[in-house]
Amino acid sequence: MNERYFGLTDERGRYQRLGLARNDTEAEQFLQAGFIEIAKDVYDRLVEFVQSIDINGLDLFLSALTLLGALRTRQANVRRLQDLVQNREAFTRAGQAFRTEATRLAEQLANRTITLDEWYQGMAQRIRQNQLSARIAGVGTNNLSQADLQAVQAKTESELRYLQRFRTELQAQLDAGQELNPNAIGARARQYAGASAEQFEIGIQEALGMPLLPVQPGVRTECMTNCKCAWRIVELNGAGNWDCFWDRNATDSCETCIARERTFNPLRIRQGIIQPFVVQGRIYA
Ligand SMILES: [Zn+2]
């Protein structure tokens, strides 16, 4: 059987999607969707390019990864769960790197070595990277799906709306001739780091094929993005059976996280269904 290769480009001729057809029916579907047939070596080169991307140094990484995601969705609908990485250390490292950068950008903005616009662009790029890194730390590059990328993108867009508001406030201070305070800006900017915990945890839950758990770290908790709690998921025998424990971090002692620790000890999922649980305290802020 001859494989045929297809690409979909945007109006500037950049490839946005790749497709691999294994038979005439699949080839026809690509053509109808506006794909054009490309040579195998072009296809291979694009795949290689996407796989070689250093996600920490590229603006275009999201569109490139969308392309990769589409490619993988096309090739395998089932995730390779044995590769599910759940690399909490990588997730923590990405967060630390973000905080360092956010601090540096705040200092540069306050001492006017960068403009407000440059600060915004720098923060926006790092927020994107941090959200994506968290997802990848959860599921692993091999399991990244289109759905993961869409989730990352949606979350990033909502974070950037907050960042816009932050910029507007800073602009107002500048317009009023006020000095900018690097510590205050840095403290607020660093909070964006923790907003990626959701990506890490939800990525894992979705990759495992679990129902979405009722609470997520840093979401509707009192500690907000400072939350360092995590879900500990224990797979049990049989399909769709898990025990999920809310592991409260030693430094987390807000009311909502304590209530979650008591309530979800464990949260039981049997045959893919979350079993009734008794809420012990206030689990949502
Ligand atoms: Zn917490």
153-166 per-position pLDDT tens digit: 888 888 999 999 99
Local structure of 233: helix, strand or coil: strand
Question: Quick one: what percent of the chain has pLDDT higher than 70?
Answer: 83
Q: Which residue has the higher pLDDT, 258 or 27?
A: 258
Ligand 1: centre distance to CA 254 (Å) = 7
Distance 229 CA to ligand 1 centre (A): 4
Ligand 1: centre distance to CA 204 (Å): 18
Residue 54, pLDDT above cutoff 70: no
Lowest mean pLDDT among 20-24, 36-40, 82-86, 233-237: 82-86
Q: Could you give phi then psi for residue 162, rounded to 5 degrees?
A: -65, -40
How many whole angstroms from 222 Cα to the centroid of ligand 1?
8
CA of 184 to the centre of ligand 1 (A): 23
DSSP reduced 3-state for 68: helix
Expressed in angstroms and rounded, the spacing between residue 47 Cα and the centre of ligand 1 is: 40
- Which residues touch 237 (CB under 8 Å, ≥6 apart)? none
Centre of ligand 1 from the C-alpha of residue 56, in Å: 28
Average pLDDT over residues 183-205: 91
Model confidence at 78, pLDDT cuts 50, 70, 90, reads very low
> How many angstroms separate the alpha carbon of residue 227 from the centre of ligand 1?
4
Phi, psi dihedrals of residue 144, rounded to the nearest 5°: -55, 130
Please give the distance, rounded to the nearest whole angstrom, from the Cα atom of residue 125 to the centre of ligand 1: 26
Cα(151) to ligand 1 centroid in Å equals: 22
Ligand 1 centroid to residue 236 C-alpha, Å:
25
pLDDT confidence of residue 225: 79
HSE of 183 in the Cβ direction (CA atoms, 13 Å)? 0
Considering only residues 42 and 16, tell me which one the structure prediction assigns the higher pLDDT.
42
CA of 194 to the centre of ligand 1 (A): 11
The model's pTM is: 0.69
Tell how strand 242-247 and strand 230-235 pair up: antiparallel
- pLDDT (tens digit per residue) in 109-133: 999 999 999 999 999 989 988 888 8
